[in-house]
Amino acid sequence: MTEHTARTATEADLALLRRAIELAQRCPPGTTFSVGCIIADAGGEVLATGHSREGDAHNHAEESALAKLPATGARLGGATIYSSLEPCSTRASRPTSCTRLILDAGIPRVVFAWREPNVFVDCEGAELLAAAGREVIEVPELAHLVRRMNSYLPGVEE
């Protein structure tokens, strides 16, 4: 765990994070990370799901999931976003990072498996989310599943 971890993941967190990792298998072939994402309310009910390149080659998983939520009425005040990969803090393909989208949505908890390696950008998603007062939980014991899924990328090894 990292210094950004306010507490450890619950069994419910681990189950939803595993489902997010499985969603990444739906990603069409591409030259970027294959990522899966689930947004759940405080009771664990799934509000939205997404995966990389869903609908558009430039879509990130968190972006896809957030886009499926209604602009108003979503139960995001107590929500958790589960992402197989640390939310991006910099993007070349869009002006808004996934970290910024999460902050703007008001989601207070973020659970992810694998810290983004320095393949495309130097990611600071976990640090920026924690600095903004979000609870950030990294689950490195599941990172090998995400690395394996992304081993087609240069610089990523299982």
pLDDT digits (tens, 9 = 90+) for 89-134: 987 788 899 999 999 999 999 999 988 877 666 678 899 999 999 9
pLDDT reported for residue 29:
82
Q: Using 50, 70 and 90 to split pLDDT, how confident is the model at 72?
A: low
**Residue 53 contacts by C-beta under 8 Å, 6 or more apart in sequence?**
27, 28, 30, 32, 34, 59
Q: State pLDDT tens for residues 32-64.
A: 899 999 999 999 999 999 999 999 999 999 999
pLDDT at 3: 45
pLDDT (0 to 100) of residue 116: 80
The CATH number for 11-20+37-150, chosen from 3.40.140.10, 3.30.750.24, 3.30.70.580, 1.10.3720.10, is: 3.40.140.10
Catalytic residues: 62
pLDDT digits (tens, 9 = 90+) for 4-37: 444 789 999 999 999 999 999 999 888 889 999 9
Backbone φ/ψ region at 16: left (φ over 0), alpha (ψ -120 to 50), beta: alpha
- Cα gap 151→137, rounded to integer Å: 23
Say how far residue 11 (Cα) sits from the centre of its chain.
18
Question: Could you state, in order of their start, the residue ranges of all structural domains in the chain?
Answer: 11-20+37-150
> How confident is the model at residue 4, as a pLDDT?
46
Q: What confidence score (pLDDT) does residue 71 get?
A: 67
